[in-house]
Amino acid sequence: MQFYTDYLWFNTKKKREFINITDEVGSVLQKSKIKEGLILISAMHITAGVYVNDAEDGLIQDIEEWLEKLAPFRSDYRHHRTGETNGDAHLKNLLIGHQVLVPVTAGRMDFGPWEQIYYAEFDGQRRKRVLVKVWGE
């Protein structure tokens, strides 16, 4: 069993962004030289998330609206008593998820026809990273 670890870094221009990171994760896989195994992609911040879904602009807008409906920005979150103002970002992370696991077959990510990997930023405009860990043979 072999392991390979790398990091993707982000400093988004907006507070909320959805970034397709499929190609970057694929580059990490190629560097790893692993042909059969798994890739863990994990947001290393509790105000961001990682998910797999279709790379379609309308769907991304729907996801953003859905998240805002379920976890809207409000000034009265108890978390804000700490001096932070990102309570909604923490809740959005719980809805999207913190990490995904992608199978590797014959040296490629083994996706369905429309699947792509996204980094979802909910409290951006500062430097953050995503862990990409590949293991297998």
- What dotted CATH number matches 2-136? 2.60.120.460
Enter the pTM of the model: 0.94
Instruction: Output the pLDDT for position 48.
Output: 97
Both structure tokens of 56: 């379609």
For range 31-42, the mean pLDDT:
98
For range 10-18, the mean pLDDT:
94
Instruction: Output the pLDDT for position 14.
Output: 94
Q: How far is CA 53 from CA 96, 120, 136, in A?
A: 11, 12, 24
pLDDT band at 22 (very low <50, low <70, confident <90, very high): very high
Instruction: Output the pLDDT for position 95.
Output: 97
d(CA 93, CA 88): 9
- With a pLDDT cut of 90, the percent of the chain lying above it is 99
Domain ranges of the chain: 2-136
CB-CB contact of 42 with 99 (8 Å):
yes
The overall average pLDDT reported for the chain is: 96
